[in-house]
Amino acid sequence: MGRSTPIEPLSQPLADGVVALRLRCASDLHAIQAAGRDPDTVRWLDDPPMDDAARRTSLSRVEEAWRTGRAAPLVIADALTDEPVGIINLQFRDDDVATVAYSVFPARRGHGIAPRAVRLFASWALHELGLRQVLLEADEDNAASIRVAEKCGFRRTGSRTEEQGDGSRTLLVFARATARTSM
């Protein structure tokens, strides 16, 4: 899945004065790798923690994601210090629809970073990339992500069950669409 055309990487960060969404750089990789081992991160995200091999190829994989139109991965940074405080990504289903996924690093959770980042990213995706719809999927037990979806103007549109090695889980599906699109 993905877009039929490449995505032009950001030339300037998306920022609101508190957070900035910017391209990933080598100096971010240690923080991303460390946060990926956090038990809550492992619990809610599908991606395995970054190991040393993945760290070595991370920047080239990010460039490839943009170039192929598969995804638009960014770092969530503190707007004042540029310190990485999380990651956010659009995963394209097609030319018009993408799913947003994000993770705030453990030390910065509970400070309103996720809603700020998701709002910025969804607005950019809908208005600058011309997407018809941005989806956000949250495990039905992930109250924090459900609150983020609601705070950011996403409406619940349904759910889906995902099979896992040890059973299954239910994901709630939220959507935010352009004004010209009905859901």
Could you report the per-residue pLDDT of 110-128, keeping only the tens digit for each?
A: 899 999 999 999 999 999 9
Give dist(CA 159, CA 136) in Å, integer: 11
Would you place residue 181 in the very low, low, confident or very high pLDDT band (cuts 50, 70, 90)? Answer: very low
Give the global pTM.
0.86
For residue 56 the two structure tokens come to 């070595």
Does residue 93 contact residue 111 with C-beta atoms inside 8 Å?
no
* pLDDT over 50 (residue 6): yes
Could you report the per-residue pLDDT of 42-86, keeping only the tens digit for each?
A: 555 666 666 666 657 678 888 899 999 999 999 999 999 999 999
Could you report the per-residue pLDDT of 8-55, keeping only the tens digit for each?
A: 999 999 999 999 999 999 898 888 777 666 667 655 566 666 666 665
